[in-house]
Amino acid sequence: MDKLVIEGGRPLRGTIPISGSKNTALMLMAGAVLADGVTVLENIPHLRDITTFSHVLRIAGASVRFDPETHVMRIDATRIDFPEAPYELVKQMRASFYMLGALLGRCGQARVSLPGGCAWGPRPVNLHLEGLRAFGAEIELDQGYVVARAPGGRLRGGRFRLEPPSVGATVNLLLGAVTARGSSRIENAALEPDVVVFGRALQQMGARIEGLGTRTIEVEGVDALQPVTFRNCPDRIELGTFMIAAAIAGSPGDTIYLTGAEPSHLGEAFLEAFRQTGAAFTFDGDTVAVTVPERLQAVSIETAPYPGFPTDLQAQWTVLLSQAEGAGFVRDTVYPDRFKHVPELMRMGLQARVEGNTVFLEGPQRLQGAHVMSTDLRGSVSLVLAGLVAEGETHVLRVYHLDRGYENLEGKLSAAGIAIRRESYDEFATPTPESAEEN
């Protein structure tokens, strides 16, 4: 297995490029299943989740080619003849569940494994199932699989209210609705930019959708969608992560540039909280310039669906609070158990208290390098951020979590002045007196 080793205390400086959005790319790939022909997707990040989802599409019969240099993906979905997403892949990545809507929309039937829980707790899919049922699907459970069928080969469309406004359920319902026989309405739909960009791609393919970016999305089903060439948007969570990295690890007064970004996708809540810490930032086209303040001020946050503070940035914000002056808290109302990174940060000396869905802490704190374990994607990157400001070496184990969602993280950070390297290690090695001495 691989780990990242970070020597703390080096200032982050210069320019960091932002990759294409992982979560939007997964939606776009699912959308390609609906089009009989070759869809070309640009600005696709080279990540493990993208590779996993490529396998999911191949199982269904698509041919997927990806060039990691140009970041262009070609999906030939002329032949989709095996409408199934197996457990082995769905368990690795929940977004594989998008195949339910995509296969129903394309083939009128689907057999997709239920995803189960994830590293930080239960993540239900009840809204995906109830919504597709409301659009006409007949759904049964069979040995851990959802078996869905559209009577007569096409969904009829319908009306469904999401509570809460789930990103994934909005996507699955859109995938099902765009080729339905009739019209559909998704109420309390997700507003996340990923969903809006995905909806625009469907429109370009010929889908008739109104209300993207509002709480009510109306869809008029069409007979078929056409393949298109579409450019994926930049990754908003990677941008937020590097803005936080700049604020905590940059030299006061210095400016760090994040290029190829789309800052409006971060939402007002994050930008406002970031501004209140005292870190200055400006936008110029697709470049975000972050100027590092002398001192960061603590700002408490509470996650919420877009345009609220993203749950995918709360672990990183905890590290920011540890470096800021004053008391603050991080509350997650979207995933109330998403705090597996906190005990790992405590191994680095973090003093914090988790109560229910909230972590309380007071800064600034001195963190020390340690061996820490990745538990999930965003939690893992919070350990890397802590490593940037910790004294000594931090070893972040189980880097495969990071490889799911941060393209070339160590390459980008080392080009920006950070001493970081990837090493392989034996997770199950038994320590001997000699190895203990080496450490």
Catalytic residues: 118
Asked whether position 313 contacts ligand EPZ by CB under 6 A, the answer is no
Which position has the token pair 């941008």? 239
Which position has the token pair 């297995």? 1
CA distance 116 to 389: 36
Q: 98: which residues sit within 8 A by CB, 6+ positions away? A: 26, 27, 30, 168, 171, 172, 175
Query: Would the CA dihedral through 339, 341, 344, 349 be positive or negative?
Result: negative
Asked whether position 127 contacts ligand EPZ by CB under 6 A, the answer is yes
Q: Which of 33, 175, 201, 377 binds ligand EPZ (CB under 6 A)?
A: 377
- The residues in 183-202 that bind ligand EPZ, with binding defined as CB under 6 A, are 190, 194
CA 191 to chain centre: 15
Asked whether position 31 contacts ligand EPZ by CB under 6 A, the answer is no
- The residues in 230-249 that bind ligand EPZ, with binding defined as CB under 6 A, are none
Judged by beta carbon, residue 278 or residue 307, the one nearer ligand EPZ is: 307
Q: 366: which residues sit within 8 A by CB, 6+ positions away? A: 349, 391
48 is in an annotated binding site: no
Q: Which stretch binds ligand EPZ (CB under 6 A): 164-172, 346-354, 383-391, 430-438?
A: 164-172
Q: Which of 14, 116, 164, 252 binds ligand EPZ (CB under 6 A)?
A: 164
23 is in an annotated binding site: yes
Asked whether position 54 contacts ligand EPZ by CB under 6 A, the answer is no
Residue 403 beta carbon to ligand EPZ: minimum distance, rounded to whole angstroms: 13
Judged by beta carbon, residue 70 or residue 216, the one nearer ligand EPZ is: 216
123 is in an annotated binding site: no
Judged by beta carbon, residue 76 or residue 235, the one nearer ligand EPZ is: 235
Listed in order, strand segments (DSSP E) in 280-439 are: 280-284, 287-291, 301-302, 326-331, 352-355, 358-363, 371-373, 393-397, 419-424
Asked whether position 123 contacts ligand EPZ by CB under 6 A, the answer is yes
Judged by beta carbon, residue 308 or residue 326, the one nearer ligand EPZ is: 308
Q: Which stretch binds ligand EPZ (CB under 6 A): 161-169, 205-213, 356-364, 412-420?
A: 161-169
Residue 27 beta carbon to ligand EPZ: minimum distance, rounded to whole angstroms: 7
DSSP string across 321-357: HHTSBEEEEEE-SSSTT--THHHHHHHTT--EEEETT
Judged by beta carbon, residue 3 or residue 128, the one nearer ligand EPZ is: 128
* The pair of three-digit structure tokens given for residue 289, joined into one six-digit string: 């310039």
- The residues in 357-376 that bind ligand EPZ, with binding defined as CB under 6 A, are none
Q: Are 135 and 155 in contact (CB under 8 A)?
A: yes
Which position has the token pair 């109330």? 336
- The residues in 404-433 that bind ligand EPZ, with binding defined as CB under 6 A, are 405
- Closest CB to ligand EPZ: residue number: 168
Judged by beta carbon, residue 195 or residue 361, the one nearer ligand EPZ is: 195
Asked whether position 126 contacts ligand EPZ by CB under 6 A, the answer is yes
Q: 438: which residues sit within 8 A by CB, 6+ positions away? A: none
Asked whether position 148 contacts ligand EPZ by CB under 6 A, the answer is no
Reduced to 3 states, what is the DSSP secondary structure of residue 424? strand
| Inter-CA distances, 252 with 208, 249, 255, 278, Å | 50, 9, 9, 11
| Inter-CA distances, 99 with 108, 141, 286, Å | 12, 16, 32
Judged by beta carbon, residue 18 or residue 256, the one nearer ligand EPZ is: 18
Q: Please tell me the count of residues contacting ligand EPZ according to CB under 6 A.
A: 24
- The residues in 332-351 that bind ligand EPZ, with binding defined as CB under 6 A, are 334-335
Residue 337 beta carbon to ligand EPZ: minimum distance, rounded to whole angstroms: 10
188 is in an annotated binding site: no
* The pair of three-digit structure tokens given for residue 36, joined into one six-digit string: 């009989």
* The pair of three-digit structure tokens given for residue 243, joined into one six-digit string: 């803005």
Q: How many helices (H) and strands (E) does the chain have?
A: 15, 24
Q: Are 49 and 404 in contact (CB under 8 A)?
A: yes
Annotated binding-site residue numbers for phosphoenolpyruvate? 22-23
Which positions touch ligand EPZ (CB under 6 A)?
23, 26, 94-95, 123-128, 164, 166-169, 190, 194, 311-312, 334-335, 377-378, 405
Annotated binding-site residue numbers for UDP-N-acetyl-alpha-D-glucosamine? 94, 312, 334
